[in-house]
Chains A and B, each alone.
Chain A
Amino acid sequence: MGKATGKVVKLNDAFSFLGGVDASTGELKVEDGGNISNKIFVFPKGKGSTVGSFVMYDLMVHGKAPAAVINRSAETIVTTGAVIASIPMVDNIDVDLICNGDEVVVDGDIGTVDIKGVKCIGAVSSALIVDDKVLLLKRPKTARSFPDVQSLVAGKIEPGETPEEAAKREIFEETQIVVDKPNVSGPKIYVREGDVIWEVYPFMYKLSAAKPVLNHENVSYEWFPVEEMKSKKTTVAKTNEIVAEMLKM
């Protein structure tokens, strides 16, 4: 409940308030910690002793409580602590989209987090599959977003376009390949890059054969075996997840 504004202090691992923070100063006792006093404290999930709830209360008593807590998933200890110490809390948030140092506005009443200065841009990302291999395009070092990594056939959605229309257009522009209907439309995912959150609509097209002809947006291409995608490290964030998810559908 309640609203708060502040700067983010974020941890990437599950956190225990008991042993994890000095209640009289708000100083974290974990590696790369920082001070959570009056900050927006972001971590995936609570863990550890139920006494952690009282540590949150103790932080409040000392005036060192975080301004708000953001979790990926709520559990009993942190939820209890947040309620008794009147710390606004929001859960069910993709904490990967929030970075250390972000200025955020948290609304605990409706459960939203607004990151200041960050805009959300719609994009498409299409997996073209031929013979269990997926087309990966290498982006130039000078690209404004995701330079020097491999991606699916991706691009922004233009005003007035549906995601599927955008996917078809981008595929033709970047590869000269003409596609019809996608075989799979994957669930929307979000990727954070600097001050942009990409709202990505994934598609999968299974083709019998294809010969890409690249434009200036990419420097090379590769047909890569889909079952080896899991170990592929040189792609745009979440590419592996997109492909794996759509192959299941």
Chain B
Amino acid sequence: MDLTREEESIFNGEQGEGAQKAMELVVALGKIYEAQDLIDITSAHLSGASYKTIGDGGLKYLDDMVKSGAKVSVPSTLNPVGMDRERWKEMHITPQFAEKQLKIIDLYGKMGIKTTCSCTPYMGDNVPSFGDHVAWAESSALSFVNSYIGARTNREGGPGALAAAILGKTANYGLHLDENRKPTVVIDADIDGSVFSYSMLGQAVGMAIGGGVPYFRGIKPVVEDAKTLSAAMAAAGSVALYHVEGVTPEAGNFDVSDLDVIHIGKKELQEAYDKLNTTDDVQLIALGCPHLSVKEIHDIAMFLKGKKKRNKDVEVWFCTSSIIRDQCPEDVRILEEFGPVLADTCMVVAPIEGIFQRTGTNSAKAGNYLPTLCSQKAMCRDITKLMDVIL
């Protein structure tokens, strides 16, 4: 790989052990993907924030990084953690878990990372611009910024994104390069346009193509739709970039006339739905995967306003970022009558296994991960149908 004199000196340890370690990792990962050189980044977003997912090994790693004096050099944000910092008892979290989780947040903070802890930093305190090169982990968020904003990132892992954040550079390969951003397949989508239909569309496309760069026709996603679509395709497959005709910023650059066309309609959406629904009976309904937006919170509040929660056996969690929760106190007050509005956490990275066995969600992403990461049977429905369970 071609390193500048400056990068070479970091690699050789002339600028401290922390930077050397970061450079060693970025270069090692770049070699796997045959990167020619490194590229400057304008921001990073890190995964590996919940104690549930990273465990004692991850905690010790972060502790050692802090001790080595590691500091990020570009604006960096963090994924959701395993609990709401103030309201973890309402989530049935043990004090032992809480202590380690708070320690992890503290360690990330000491490295200069903003600890809002959200999977939708692009709706909060980390918003890339068109053409920015960034190093983002969190599959749903990186797909959103690649696709809807036109920033450029690969699917980074937690430590890789942290190393990039420390250096302000990442290896230049994959989706940083024009040639890899071309569509690989056309998707003609026939959906009803509800947010839930975008969840099922993403699931169906992920199941149909696995990876690649789909080019959508026939849809007009707004931010919430794109957030859901990004998350679903990244969970059901490994899609990190897509284009939407007439909507996303790069879609107009490509001639797709020679590409294969896949039609996604009623039949495919039903197959996606059947795949994600493994129970009709739930103990927890969790919304906000990815984190709820201000508009989604408002819509839910308008739907629930004046209604009563009749089924007391089923818990309801609304998951969003602390930034968004602070923006809509009136609506949050309405939601709180039905269940806690939890900040900076979610049902996937919280240790819900052992507390619940059956969870309802409107998210295809959560529908994929609840069975594997949380040992749950899942019910995947539109929000109003989920709310029918408790009203």
Contact = CB atoms under 8 A, between A and B. Distances in A.
Nearest to B65: A84
A54 B28 CA distance: 17
A77 B25 contact: no
Contacts of A76: 29, 32, 157, 160
Interface residues of B, number: 21
A84 B21 contact: yes
Contacts of B158: 50, 53
A210 to B, nearest CB: 46
A1 interface: yes
B24 interface: yes
A74 B30 CA distance: 11
Interface in B130-165: 157-160
B254 interface: no
A80 B160 contact: yes
Nearest to A73: B32
A20 to B, nearest CB: 13
Interface stretch (A55-63, A123-131, A133-141, A216-224): A55-63
Contacts of B54: 51, 54
Nearest to A74: B32
B56 interface: yes
A75 B32 contact: yes
Contacts of A80: 25, 28-29, 157, 159-160
A54 B61 contact: yes
Contacts of B24: 1, 83
B28 A79 contact: yes
B32 A58 contact: no
B57 interface: yes
B36 to A, nearest CB: 18
Q: From B28, B53, B57, B158, name the one whose CB has the most chain A CB atoms within 10 angstroms.
A: B57
Interface in B194-242: none
A157 interface: no
Query: Does more than half of chain B's interface fall in helix, strand or loop, or is it mixed?
Result: helix
Interface footprint category on A: 20 to 34
Contacts of A1: 24
B58 interface: yes
Contact of B55 (A54, A74, A79): A54
A23 interface: yes
Contacts of B57: 23, 54-59, 61
B60 interface: yes
B360 interface: no
Contacts of B61: 54, 57, 84
Contact of B29 (A23, A54, A57, A79): A79
A51 B58 CA distance: 8
B25 A84 contact: yes
A60 to B, nearest CB: 9
- Majority SS of interface residues in chain A? helix
A79 B32 CA distance: 9
A81 B296 CA distance: 39
A51 B25 contact: no
B183 interface: no
Contacts of A61: 56-57, 60
A80 B30 CA distance: 11
Contacts of A74: 28, 31-32
Nearest to A58: B57
A242 B55 CA distance: 47
B157 A53 contact: yes
A82 B47 CA distance: 19
Nearest to A84: B159
A54 B48 contact: yes
B347 to A, nearest CB: 18
A57 B32 CA distance: 20
Contacts of B157: 50, 53, 76-77, 80
Contacts of A23: 56-57
A77 B158 CA distance: 10
Given A76-B32, A76-B160, A84-B61, A58 B25 contact: no
Contacts of B159: 53, 80, 83-84
A76 B161 CA distance: 12
Interface string A192-233: 000000000000000000000000000000000000000000
A75 B31 CA distance: 10
Contacts of B48: 50-51, 54
B219 to A, nearest CB: 31
7 contacts: A51-B48, A51-B58, A53-B159, A54-B54, A59-B57, A79-B29, A84-B25
Interface of A: 1, 23, 50-51, 53-59, 61, 74-77, 79-80, 82-84
Given A53-B158, A54-B48, 5 more contacts: A55-B55, A57-B60, A57-B61, A76-B157, A80-B29
8 closest residue pairs by CB, A with B: A58-B57, A54-B57, A54-B58, A83-B25, A57-B61, A57-B57, A50-B157, A61-B60
